[in-house]
Amino acid sequence: MVNDFALPIIDLTLCSGCGACAAACPEHALMMTVDSQQPAFVEPYACTYCTECEAVCPENAIHCPLTITWNTED
């Protein structure tokens, strides 16, 4: 990772532009671009890494390879 937060990985070469990922995103972190009709992270810090976008993609173009765990100890 080059940033300090996790984002799903989207392979735009596999994307058909269906918009399912953007429609499923509960945080509106992901939206379709008007010009290219491809998903883009418009609010990346809003992403909770819930993996909904990965689950709905019919082209298997989105991957969330990280496992988020919370440290509940002090």
- Name the residues that contact ligand SF4, by CB under 6 A: 8, 10, 15-21, 24-25, 27, 29-30, 39, 47-53, 56-59, 61-62
- Closer residue to ligand SF4 in complex, CB, 67/73: 67
Residue 72: CB minimum distance to ligand SF4, A = 22
Residue 35: CB minimum distance to ligand SF4, A = 14
What angle (nearest 5°) sits at the alpha carbon of residue 55, between those of residues 51 and 58? 140
Identify the CA nearest to 25 among candidates 56, 71, 59.
Answer: 56
- Closer residue to ligand SF4 in complex, CB, 15/71: 15
- Closer residue to ligand SF4 in complex, CB, 3/59: 59
Element (H or E) spanning 51, and its range? none
Helices then strands, each counted (H, E), the chain: 2, 4
Element (H or E) spanning 23, and its range? helix 20-24
